[in-house]
């Protein structure tokens, strides 16, 4: 590697925008939630896609091959969205998208896009989004079938608990599941 010996101007991108190559035979409309088709190309978000941002302007690649056109996206910020079932008590909850224009608080197979930042009115909120963090809330909660009861304590397993080892083990699993699920909800 050779150190610089003269000024070397560079091209820098500013802000929270990116220009993504668009999938073949695809049209993206301004305001659309943009997803990754799994091969690195942008498309209107479909449930399960990695969220890549919101289209700043529409772009038509309907007659083109993959990568023939690029869409300008906003990767982070706050946006007002219609969110199914949103109530004033939902501030801070994760927001998911099932397509490029349908937003919900239900995880299911939907794509995580951000969190409710502010309640505007019934079914409408401001969502803080950051495609670099999106997906962190896509972790599914654990299903606890241990039969134990979470009490916030990992119990000693053995003769000290009256000989009922399975109850202590099941309780420990229930505690772990409860804490993991709390973390999943926190980062979602």
pLDDT value of position 159: 56
**Residue carrying the six token digits 């909800």:** 185
pLDDT value of position 157: 72
Tens of each residue's pLDDT in the chain, 188 residues? 688 999 888 887 777 899 999 999 999 999 999 999 999 999 999 999 999 999 999 999 999 999 999 999 999 999 999 999 999 999 999 999 999 999 999 988 999 999 999 999 999 999 999 988 765 555 566 777 877 787 877 777 765 555 667 777 777 777 787 777 777 666 65
Structure letter (DSSP) for residue 109: T
pLDDT value of position 166: 77
pLDDT value of position 153: 74
Q: How far is CA 47 from CA 54, 76, 111, 119, 127, in A?
A: 15, 20, 5, 24, 18
170's enclosing H/E stretch is helix 165-187
Asked whether the beta carbons of 23 and 43 are under 8 A apart, the reply is yes
pLDDT value of position 128: 95
pLDDT value of position 136: 55
180's enclosing H/E stretch is helix 165-187
Contacts of 49 (CB under 8 A, 6+ apart): 35, 36, 37, 38, 43, 111
Domain ranges of the chain: 17-74, 77-135, 139-188
Q: Label residues 60-91 b or e (16+ Cβ within 10 Å = b).
A: ebeeeebeebebbbbbbeebebebeebeeebe
pLDDT value of position 144: 77
Beta-carbon-side half-sphere exposure of residue 100 (alpha carbons within 13 Å): 22
pLDDT value of position 150: 78
pLDDT value of position 141: 67
């Amino acid at each position: 590697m050779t150190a610089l010996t003269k000024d070397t101007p560079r091209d820098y991108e500013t802000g929270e925008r990116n220009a993504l190559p668009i999938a073949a035979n695809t049209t993206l409309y301004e305001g659309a939630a943009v997803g990754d088709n799994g091969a690195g190309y942008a498309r209107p978000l479909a449930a399960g896609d990695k969220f890549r941002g919101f289209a700043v302007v529409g772009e038509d690649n309907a007659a083109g091959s993959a990568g023939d056109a690029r869409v300008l996206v906003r990767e982070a910020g706050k946006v007002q969205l219609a969110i199914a079932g949103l109530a004033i008590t939902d501030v801070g909850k994760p927001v998911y998208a099932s397509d490029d224009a349908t937003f919900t608080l239900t995880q299911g197979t939907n794509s995580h896009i951000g969190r409710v930042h502010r309640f505007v009115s019934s079914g409408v909120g401001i969502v803080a989004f950051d495609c670099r963090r999106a997906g962190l809330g896509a972790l599914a909660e654990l299903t606890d079938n241990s039969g134990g009861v979470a009490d916030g304590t990992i119990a000693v397993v053995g003769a000290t608990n009256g000989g009922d080892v399975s109850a202590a083990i099941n309780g420990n699993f229930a505690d772990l599941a409860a804490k993991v699920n709390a973390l999943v909800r926190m980062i979602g």
